[in-house]
Every structure is written in structure tokens, then in C-alpha cells.
Amino acid sequence: MTSRDIPHYETRTAICEYGRSLLDDDLTTGTGGNLSARLDEDRIAISPSGIPYADIKPADVPVVRTDGTVVEGETEPSTELPMHLAVYERRSDVGGVVHTHSPYATTFASLGEAIPASHYLLAFTGSEVPVTGYETHATEALGDAAVDALGESYNATLLRNHGVLTADGSLDDAYTVAQMVEYCARIHYQARAIGEPEILPDEEIDRLRGKLDSYGQ
């Protein structure tokens, strides 16, 4: 099968590439974590379940309807499909979702602590990275907890005793948010090891979000 024969080839390729980046950037281990991208109002592409990221090819990336029906691909979608679908259903502004097990952010998830804005780059997510209540992985209940924590104003949440979920306008943007969450988690962890971090006020985060939205070319 050539690239011309694979529907949504570019998006499914991006999921493969970002999956490998999860390992390269130390945002997960093994086959942990998952990624998805909105294709249209009724379909998403999502990483497959249980396949090493290095082995995933574009044709392996399932295309799934919002009712959970697989319409392209021979592999099973990620077991966290219910969580991804919940985000897309609740947030029409979201075009990409990334779930990681990044170590510093997951440390705070295991503590049940939100990550506050002790570094200005947390503005990529909102005034903090909120934390969900605990729910079993791969369940609709976890999806409900994630979208409740995200609300309408956050681009990331900590999944208690589990990991991180980020959501933004595109898969590229959601991946950047995942990187920023882990970076800010590490800075906050290190700052707390030395002393008491200073937390930026919400109004400064709001101002920074406007600047970050217009950043770049």
C-alpha cells in the first residue's frame, strides 16, 4: 500500500512520528501514552493499542468515528479511546489530544496536587495544571473526570495516580503543551526542593496567554 492509498495519510503519519517523540522526549516509556487528532466532525485518528511506537506505520493508525466505530485500519485503537472521545465531544475547539506518563508531571498527579504557575510557560495550559479525581484507566469515568478538570479554560490536566492529558487546537499544539507541562513540573519540583516557589498571579498568566497565542510566524 502506497501513501496515496492511505486516507488521511499526513495526520496518521504525524501520530506515528509524535509517538516516537514521546519516547525521545522522555514523556512516556514502553507503549505507554497515546495521541489522537480530529479529522472532521465525526472522525478522529488515534494511536493503536499495544504496538511499540517504533513499529507503528500510518496504515496501522485507526480512524474512529465519534461513536467508537473503527472505519479505517486493522489494529485496535488505544484503550484510552473513551477519554479522547470525551474531550472531542466536550471541547469543539480541540483538534489534538496527547496523553503521557511524563515523570515529573506524573509525580504531582500521584500526589494529587495541581501544578501552579511557578514558571511563566505554564501559561500554555492556563493558570495551573488541575488534577482529576482518581478513576480507573481506559474507562468512560476517566474521560468524564478529564473533561471536567479541563473545563473550557485549561489545555492540560493531571490524571490522578496516572499521568497527563493535554488538548489544544491541533496535535502539534497539544504535543507542545505536553512538553511545557513536563518542563514546568520539573522546575516546580526542583524549586520546591530548595525553597518555596513564587506563583505568578492569574492576571499575569492571562496576559502571557495572549502573548503566547501570537508567538511565532
For residue 187 the three cell numbers come to 522546575
Give the span between the Cα atoms of 202 and 187, in whole angstroms. 19
What are the structural domain ranges in the chain? Answer: 3-213
Each residue of 166-202: pLDDT tens digit? Answer: 999 999 999 999 999 999 999 999 999 999 999 999 9
Contacts of 9 (CB under 8 A, 6+ apart): 3, 58
79 three-class SS: coil
Cβ-contact 82, 143 below 8 angstroms: yes
Each residue of 14-37: pLDDT tens digit? Answer: 999 999 999 999 999 999 999 999
Give the H or E element holding residue 203.
helix 202-213
**To the nearest whole percent, how much of the chain has pLDDT over 90?**
93
Q: How confident is the model at residue 217 (pLDDT cuts 50, 70, 90)?
A: very low
Cβ-contact 44, 14 below 8 angstroms: no
35 three-class SS: strand
* Average pLDDT taken over every residue of the chain: 96
- The stretch 54-80 carries a mean pLDDT of 97
What is the pLDDT at residue 214? 60
What is the pLDDT at residue 123? 97
Q: Which amino acid is at 11?
A: T
Other C-beta atoms lying within 10 Å of the C-beta of residue 32: 15
Contacts of 164 (CB under 8 A, 6+ apart): 99, 100, 101, 102, 105, 106, 109, 129, 156, 157, 158, 178, 181, 182
Cβ-contact 84, 34 below 8 angstroms: yes
Q: How confident is the model at residue 212 (pLDDT cuts 50, 70, 90)?
A: confident
What is the pLDDT at residue 1? 57
pTM of the model: 0.96
- Of 80, 128, 135, 182, catalytic: 80
What is the pLDDT at residue 2? 63
Each residue of 118-176: pLDDT tens digit? Answer: 999 999 999 999 999 999 999 999 999 999 999 999 999 999 999 999 999 999 999 99
Given a cut of 70, whether residue 63 has pLDDT beyond it is yes
- The stretch 42-46 carries a mean pLDDT of 98
Q: What's domain 3-213's superfamily in CATH?
A: Class II aldolase/adducin N-terminal domain (3.40.225.10)
For residue 167 the three cell numbers come to 488538548
Q: How confident is the model at residue 5 (pLDDT cuts 50, 70, 90)?
A: confident
Please confirm, yes or no, whether 76 is among the known catalytic residues. no
Given a cut of 60, whether residue 215 has pLDDT beyond it is no
- The stretch 36-61 carries a mean pLDDT of 97
